[in-house]
């Protein structure tokens, strides 16, 4: 074996080791940044959900304070031979009432 050949072997080995270390550091840094990004996005999403829920609760509280709610309970007595058409008509009337209340609410919200 000649000395230049042995020297080339060790130079190549050193290059391979340094390249491997640099690649390992790069992958580690990339995964670390990805982990940070993921954690930040999860925190942002959690804060967003908290804000949405807080605002929804505030709006619900304001709505229930300013407007009394009436609940109509329509029993569905289908097994004892209840009048199905009358029940459907009552439900349609209730839906129409809810739609008009919703339209009034939307008009007040835009003003």
- Tell whether 49 and 75 lie within a shared domain: no
- Tell whether 58 and 78 lie within a shared domain: no
% of the chain beyond a pLDDT of 90: 50
pTM of this structure:
0.44
CA dihedral sign of residues 59, 64, 70, 76: positive
Mean pLDDT of the chain: 84
- Tell whether 3 and 57 lie within a shared domain: yes
- Tell whether 61 and 74 lie within a shared domain: no
- Tell whether 46 and 14 lie within a shared domain: yes
Q: For the CA atoms of the chain, what is the radius of gyration?
A: 35
Mean pLDDT check: name the lowest of 6-10, 46-50, 75-79. 75-79
Q: For 78, which DSSP code? A: T
Q: How many CB atoms lie within 10 A of CB 76?
A: 9
Work out the angle at residue 63's Cα, subtended by the Cα atoms of residues 60 and 68, and round it to the nearest 5 degrees.
Answer: 120
Is residue 41 predicted with pLDDT exceeding 90?
A: yes
How large is the average pLDDT for residues 10-39?
Answer: 94
- Tell whether 52 and 98 lie within a shared domain: no
With cut-offs at 50, 70 and 90, classify the pLDDT of residue 46.
Answer: very high
Show the domain range for 82.
Answer: 70-111
How distant, in Å, are the alpha carbons of 20, 50, 92 from that of 54?
Answer: 50, 6, 32
Is residue 8 predicted with pLDDT exceeding 90?
A: yes
Cα dihedral value 100, 102, 103, 106, nearest 10: 160
Counting the structural domains of the chain, the total is 2
- Tell whether 17 and 56 lie within a shared domain: yes
- Tell whether 42 and 15 lie within a shared domain: yes
- The two tokens of residue 60 are 């619900």
């Amino acid at each position: 074996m000649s000395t230049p050949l042995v020297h080339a072997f060790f130079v190549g080995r050193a290059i391979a080791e340094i390249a491997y270390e640099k690649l390992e550091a790069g992958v580690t840094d990339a995964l670390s940044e990805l982990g940070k990004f993921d954690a930040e996005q999860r925190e942002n999403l959690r804060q967003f959900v908290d804000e949405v829920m807080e605002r929804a609760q505030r709006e619900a509280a304001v709505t229930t304070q300013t407007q009394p709610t009436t609940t109509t309970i329509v029993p569905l007595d289908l097994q004892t031979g209840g009048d199905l058409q009358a029940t459907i008509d009552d439900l349609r009337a209730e839906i129409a009432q809810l739609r008009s209340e919703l339209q009034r609410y939307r008009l007040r919200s835009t003003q």
